[in-house]
Amino acid sequence: MGRVYIEELGKHVGEEVELRGWLYNKRSSGKIRFLLLRDGTGIVQGVMAKGGVSDEAFAKFDELTQESAFALKGKVRKDDRAPGGFELEVTDVRIYAIATDYPITPKEHGVEFLADRRHLWLRSSRQHAVMRVRHRLIKAIRDFYDNRGFVLIDSPILTPAACEGTTTLFETDYFDLGKAYLTQSGQLYAEAGAMAFGKVYCFGPTFRAEKSKTRRHLTEFWMVEPEVAFADLNDNMELAEEFLEYIVQTVLRERGEELKVLERNTTLLQNVKKPLPRISYDEAIEILRKKGVQFEWGNDFGGTDETIISEQFDRPVMVHRYPAQIKAFYMKRDPQNPNVALALDVLAPEGYGEIIGGSQREDNLDALLGRIKQHNLPQEAFEWYLDLRRYGTVPHSGFGLGLERTVGWICGLDHVRETVPFPRMIYRLTP
Amino acid sequence: MGRVYIEELGKHVGEEVELRGWLYNKRSSGKIRFLLLRDGTGIVQGVMAKGGVSDEAFAKFDELTQESAFALKGKVRKDDRAPGGFELEVTDVRIYAIATDYPITPKEHGVEFLADRRHLWLRSSRQHAVMRVRHRLIKAIRDFYDNRGFVLIDSPILTPAACEGTTTLFETDYFDLGKAYLTQSGQLYAEAGAMAFGKVYCFGPTFRAEKSKTRRHLTEFWMVEPEVAFADLNDNMELAEEFLEYIVQTVLRERGEELKVLERNTTLLQNVKKPLPRISYDEAIEILRKKGVQFEWGNDFGGTDETIISEQFDRPVMVHRYPAQIKAFYMKRDPQNPNVALALDVLAPEGYGEIIGGSQREDNLDALLGRIKQHNLPQEAFEWYLDLRRYGTVPHSGFGLGLERTVGWICGLDHVRETVPFPRMIYRLTP
C-alpha cells in the first residue's frame, strides 16, 4: 500500500498503491474520468467512475490542470491496451499544488520559446527520451572503458596556458597567478595518465569560445578521451571501432522505446559494427572528386564534404592520415610520408559529421620541440608535457568523442541544443 | 605469445608473453638480474641469468634506468613469494627509450617538489593507489544512482547569474551576453530535473574562488548532487546513509589492496553502515558544551567543532535542523520552528569534516519570494527557478557530496591535493 513509481507497477498488479506526480493530461467520457499522471519514470492512466470514489475525490478531476502535482491511490490493473501496460483503478486523489497556466501547452511552440523554458521543456516526452538516451550513452561509455581496465583520470577544467591560441578560449582571473583558461581538451593530461597507468580516459566538460552559430556547436560540451600507451594508429582505429559498436549497440538495445518516441529510423545505427571502413585522406579526396567536388590536397573537409564522404558508406567511416599542416602540433608524422599526420577522424553517417578526432602522438622529444617552435607555441608552457618524452617515451595514441554530437546522431536530432539538459551556445546562457 | 598486461598474467601461466612498460627498479645478485617492470596495471619482476638469454639482451640490464621504457619477453611463472604472485623468466629485452635523470628518485622529496612534477608523481605506487580508489568511488557513486532509477542530468558549468554573490566565483566574458560564472553547484538545475524525472543526479566539476589555503580546499572539485521529488528531510537522511554505506563498502571490498598500500586503518570505515546516528544542531551544541567549548546558538561549526562532534561517534554522523540564518535561502524552514532550516550535514569521522551538505527545499512560492528579497538576491535571475514552484510544486530534497573530500577520508590522506590527478588550489594552477 506504499508509494511506488510507475516503472515498478508490474510488481504490484492487484495491489493498492500510491503514485505521485504531475498531470500529463486528462479526459472524461460520460461518468468516467481519466487522469494521466507522469512521475518521471513513466505515464499511467488513472480511471475513476462517479460513485466509485468519494464525491470529494471525484471533484478533483475538475480542479486538476496540466502539470498540477497530485497523488493517486488505487489498484493496479494489467491492461495491454494501456501505454506501459497498466492502469490504476483510482480510490483516492490528493492534490499537492495546482499549476495555473502552464506555458507549454500541447500545441506547437517555437524552439526559442521552448528553449527559454528549458527547465519546463524537460518534462516533455520527447526531451525525456533524449535525456534517457544521453544518460544510457554516458553509462555505456564509462562501462566500456571500466570493463577494459582503463583508469579514469579526470583532467582539470582550469588550465594555465593558452596552448593553441586564446581566440577560442574562455578566460578567467586566477588569484595571483594571472589568467586561467577553460579547457578545450583533456588530452595532454590524459597522455601523462597513460604513461602512469598504461590506458586511461578522461570524461568531462570542455569549452570552445567559438563564434560558431551552427546546429553542431555548443560552447560547453562533454568529451570522452581515451589514451593508450604502446598503441599506434592501427590500435587507435581498432579501439575506436570497438568503442562505437559497443556504445551504439548498447543504446539500441536498452533505449529502443525512447528511440521510438523520437521516431528514429535505426537501420543505419544497427550497422555500427566492426570493422568500420577505413580510408585515407587521399582516398576521401578521390571520393569528393568523383562526386564533382573541386578539392585541393591540404585543405580540411567542410561539413558538406564530410556528408558526401560519409554517404558512400552504410556505417561510420574512419578517415586517416591527414595533411600535417591542418592538424595539431602533437600528432606524429607518418614515417612513410612526413607531410602526413597519423590522424584519425570518424565521420558519422546521415550528415552528422565528425564524432571522433584523434591520432598517434608525437613521441620523439626533438620532433615535438621542433613542432612547438614551428607553431610559435610557448615552450615553457609545455615543459611538463615534454617531460613525458624525456622520461620513458613510448608510442601512444588516443582520441576524443564529443558526447552531444553522438547523442544527436543516435537520436536523429536536427540540432545539438536538445542533447544536453541546459545547452550553452553563443547566444544562450540561460536558463 | 602476444602482448599482455601484468594484471592478466594469471591467465598466461606457462606461456611466453610480452610485457611493455617502464622500469620501476632493478637489482642484481651474482649472475642473476632482476628487472621490475610497471605497466600501469601492476608491477612484475623479470628474471634473467647470464647465459640464459642472449648477451645482447643481458647487457640491456645495465642500460636501463628508472622510468626507461622497455619490453620484456618471457615465460610466466607462478611464484607466491613475488608481489602480485607471478614472475617472468625473461627470454628477451627490448628498449623503447632510456630515461636520463628521472627527477623523482626513491628518496624522500618535498611535497611542492612532487606537486610541481604531478605528471610524473602520478607514476608512484602511492598515487596509483589513490587514483584507483578515486576511480572506483566514482563508479560506485554512479552505479548507486543508476541502479535506483535516478536520471543523470548534467548541470551547466557556465551559469548566467551570480546567485549568491560574486566574491567566490570565477568569472568569464560570454560573447555579447555579458559575464558568465563557473558553477558552484548544480542543485538548482537538479531541482528542475527532479520535477521532470522524479529523481535525478548531477555529477561534475564545481568551482570556488575562495581564498582558502587549507588542506580541505580545492578551487576545482567534483560534486555529486542527487535531488528527489516528493522527498522530505527524513527521506533525504535515509538516502544519504544508504548512499554512504554503498560507496564506502564497495571501495573497501574492491580496493582493499590499494588501501593497504596507503596503510589505511579501515576499522572506522567498516562501520559505515546504516543507520547512521542522527542529531539535531541543538544536540550537537550540547556535545560541544559538554566538551567545554563555548558555543553560541546561531553560529556555524568550525573545523575543530566538527571534529569534536564527530569524535563522539564510530561512524559518520548526520546533523540536521540548523539555524536558518546560516543556511541558504532555498532551504525549507521547519514547520515546528521557523528559526530552523530543514538542513542536513554529514560529518565524517577522524577529522575529515563535512562530506555531505543538503536540505529539504523550500517548495512554497511566496516563502521563496520572501527569502529572495530578504537575502537581497536579484529575483529576475531566479524567475526560471521560481517557475518550479509555480507549476506543480512538491516537497523535495537533495544533497551534495564532495568527491575529493570523500576520497581523502577513505584513503586517510592529510591533504586533498592528492585526491585528484591535477589539483587546482589558490596557489597552484600547474601542471
Encode chain B (431 residues) as per-residue pLDDT tens digits.
Answer: 689 999 999 999 999 999 999 999 999 999 999 999 999 999 999 999 999 999 999 999 999 999 999 999 999 999 999 888 999 999 999 999 999 999 999 888 999 999 999 999 999 999 999 999 999 999 999 999 999 999 999 999 999 976 666 678 999 999 999 999 999 999 999 999 999 999 999 999 999 998 888 888 899 999 999 999 999 999 999 999 999 999 999 999 999 999 999 999 999 999 999 999 999 999 999 999 999 999 999 999 999 999 999 999 999 999 999 999 999 999 999 999 999 999 999 999 999 999 999 999 999 999 999 999 999 999 999 999 999 999 999 999 999 999 999 999 999 999 999 999 999 999 999 99
A85 touches chain B (CB under 8 A): no
Contacts of B230 in chain A (CB under 8 A): 3, 20
Q: Rounded to whole angstroms, how far apart are CA atoms B342 and B237?
A: 11
Phi and psi (nearest 5°) for A419?
-95, -5
A-facing residues of B in 19-58 (CB < 8 A) are 20-23, 39-41
- The tens digit of pLDDT for each residue in A262-310 reads 999 999 999 999 999 999 999 999 999 999 999 999 999 999 999 999 9
What confidence tier does A138 reach under pLDDT thresholds 50, 70, 90?
A: very high
**Which of A163, A385, A422 best probes binding to B when mutated, by most B CB atoms within 10 angstroms?**
A422
Q: Do A193 and B156 touch (CB under 8 A)?
A: no
Secondary structure of residue A259 in the 3-state scheme = helix
Bridge partners for B202 per DSSP: B225
**Is the ipTM value over 0.90, yes or no?**
yes
Q: Do B173 and A177 touch (CB under 8 A)?
A: no
What confidence tier does A109 reach under pLDDT thresholds 50, 70, 90?
A: very high
Q: What fold, for B118-419?
A: BirA Bifunctional Protein; domain 2 (3.30.930)
B157: closest CA of chain A, how far (Å)? 8
B-facing residues of A in 195-224 (CB < 8 A) are 195-199, 204-205, 207, 209, 211, 219-220, 222
A19: closest CA of chain B, how far (Å)? 10
Measured on CA atoms in the order A18, A21, A24, A29, is the torsion positive or negative?
A: positive
Phi and psi (nearest 5°) for A91?
-110, -25
Q: Rounded to whole angstroms, how far apart are CA atoms A58 and A62?
A: 8
Residue A257 cell numbers, joined? 522505446
SS (H, E, C) A196-246: HHCEEEEEEEEECCCCCCCCCCCCEEEEEEEEEECCCHHHHHHHHHHHHHH
Q: Do B172 and A177 touch (CB under 8 A)?
A: no
Q: Is A65 exposed, middle or buried (0-12, 13-18, 19+ CB in 10 A)?
A: middle
A429: closest CA of chain B, how far (Å)? 6
B5 touches chain A (CB under 8 A): yes
B-facing residues of A in 256-275 (CB < 8 A) are none
Quote the pLDDT of residue A107: 86
Ordered by start, the domain boundaries in chain B are 2-97, 118-419
A304: closest CA of chain B, how far (Å)? 27
B231: closest CA of chain A, how far (Å)? 11
Q: Do B394 and A69 touch (CB under 8 A)?
A: yes
Cα–Cα distances (Å) from A180 to A160, B134, B429, in that order, read: 5, 25, 8
B157 touches chain A (CB under 8 A): yes
Superfamily of domain A2-97: Nucleic acid-binding proteins (2.40.50.140)
B11 touches chain A (CB under 8 A): no
Residue B331 cell numbers, joined? 532551504
Q: By CA distance, what is A197's nearest residue in B?
A: B40
Amino acid at A193: G
What confidence tier does A213 reach under pLDDT thresholds 50, 70, 90?
A: confident
B386 touches chain A (CB under 8 A): no
Alpha-carbon radius of gyration of chain B: 26
- Is cis: bond before B275, omega within 30 of 0? yes
Q: Do domains A2-97 and A118-419 have the same CATH topology?
A: no
Secondary structure of residue A25 in the 3-state scheme = strand
A-facing residues of B in 279-318 (CB < 8 A) are none
